[in-house]
């Protein structure tokens, strides 16, 4: 097989955590304390190592995720350092900031707070044209 072969890997993780959004409008239900069964998708991309046959071991993604899980699962997110206003957007950025140093090729983080609502973050400095 000639040339580089690029792939994207994704692993889905689950969290149970509460939050409230203190910056939401006064009449928003999101200002009140509530919880979610959060679903987080971590995507990495890069070239397949043709000797091993993979980009990286899925276990490496799981190992990088574990400290994030430990910090967030069954927590009140507003009490986690750096998450005083834990919107899905800011949670995605918070997660990115912790995984980027551990996962080469981190491509995007998707945070789902309900089965119909999600936010995808593509990393710092990526404008909408680059995120397509």
- Alpha helices by DSSP H, the chain: 58-72, 88-99
Taking each helix axis from N to C terminus, what angle separates 58-72 and 88-99, rounded to the nearest 10 degrees? 130
- Which residue among the candidates 5, 14, 34, 74 is catalytic per the annotation? 74
Q: What is the CA radius of gyration of the chain?
A: 16
Q: How far apart are CA 56 and CA 32, in angstroms?
A: 41
- Which residue among the candidates 30, 36, 69, 76 is catalytic per the annotation? 30
CA angle 79, 64, 58 (to 5 degrees): 135
Catalytic annotation on 8? no
CB atoms within 10 A of CB 89: 13
Catalytic annotation on 5? no
Catalytic annotation on 30? yes
Q: How far apart are CA 15 and CA 44, in angstroms?
A: 20
Active site residues: 30, 74, 113
């Amino acid at each position: 097989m000639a040339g580089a072969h690029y792939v994207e890997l994704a692993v889905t993780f689950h969290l149970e955590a509460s939050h409230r959004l203190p910056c939401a409008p006064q009449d928003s239900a999101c200002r009140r304390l509530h919880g979610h069964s959060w679903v987080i998708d971590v995507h990495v991309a890069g070239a397949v190592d043709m000797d091993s046959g993979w980009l990286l071991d899925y276990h490496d993604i799981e190992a990088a995720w574990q400290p994030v899980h430990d910090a967030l699962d069954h927590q009140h997110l507003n009490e986690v350092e750096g998450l005083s206003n834990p919107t899905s957007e800011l949670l995605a950025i918070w997660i990115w900031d912790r995984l980027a140093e551990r996962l080469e090729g981190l491509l995007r983080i998707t945070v789902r707070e309900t089965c119909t609502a999600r936010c995808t973050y593509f990393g710092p400095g990526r404008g909408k044209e680059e995120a397509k």
